[in-house]
Amino acid sequence: MKCCVTDAETRENAEATMAADERCTRCGGPSRPVPRKTVLLMLKPHLLEEALSGIYSFCPARDCPVVYFDKHGTRVFTSDDLRVIVGLKASKDPIPLCYCFGFDESHLRKEISKTGSTTIPDRISGLIREGLCACETRNPSGVCCLGEVNRTAKRLKREIS
């Protein structure tokens, strides 16, 4: 799987799903399209039937309980409906960052506290280059985690310094 690599097929899929981009039904903030497969893989089993059809978006707003909503606003799934913790919405450890390889915010914090820097983003990048990631299905946002990992590393470096 080449989830973090941009190729012609990925661009076509992204362009096709951009039409599904809607504002969050709860907070009104911007959202991004997310594959239905991702939604189905994240939901608790008793909710699967509710998400078998539809075009979904992901709300990344930290303070909004909504994670997924369908294009028509008839189906909304919150953090409580998911089998995993959504790192973008979590406020206490463990705060997941990389769902493919298991890194969370505490891993970055520990390494930065010890060495003043972190090798985790580079390690993840290497694994991505090897084609070993599955962000589209393992990350609740349906996209590569590397941007969030890098943003968190920069924030933690400022906080710890």
Neighbours of 110 (CB within 10 A): 12
- What's the rounded mean pLDDT across residues 73-100? 96
Architecture of domain 8-81: Single Sheet (2.20)
Express each pLDDT in 21-58 by its tens digit: 589 999 999 999 999 999 999 999 999 999 999 999 99
Q: Where are the beta strands (DSSP E) in 54-149?
A: 56-58, 66-70, 76-78, 96-98, 103-104
Neighbours of 122 (CB within 10 A): 9
CATH for 87-160 (3.40.50.300, 3.40.140.10, 1.20.1280.290, 1.10.10.1100):
1.10.10.1100
Would strands 103-104 and 76-78 be described as parallel, antiparallel, or unpaired? unpaired
pLDDT of residue 49: 97
Which of 2-6, 15-19, 46-50, 132-136 is least confident? 15-19
Q: How confident is the model at residue 6 (pLDDT cuts 50, 70, 90)?
A: very low
Long-range Cβ pairs for the range 27-32 (8 Å, 24+):
27/59, 27/61, 27/63, 27/64, 27/66, 29/59, 29/60, 29/61, 29/64, 30/60, 31/57, 31/58, 31/59, 31/60, 31/69, 32/57, 32/58, 32/60, 32/141, 32/142, 32/143
Query: What is the pTM for the complete model shown?
Result: 0.86
One fold for 8-81 and 87-160: no
Express each pLDDT in 118-145 by its tens digit: 999 999 999 999 999 999 999 999 999 9
pLDDT of residue 15: 37
Q: List the domain boundaries for the chain.
A: 8-81, 87-160
Helix (H) or strand (E) holding 111: helix 105-115
Q: Return the CA Rg of the chain.
A: 16
- What's the rounded mean pLDDT across residues 56-85? 95
pLDDT of 14 over the 80 cut: no
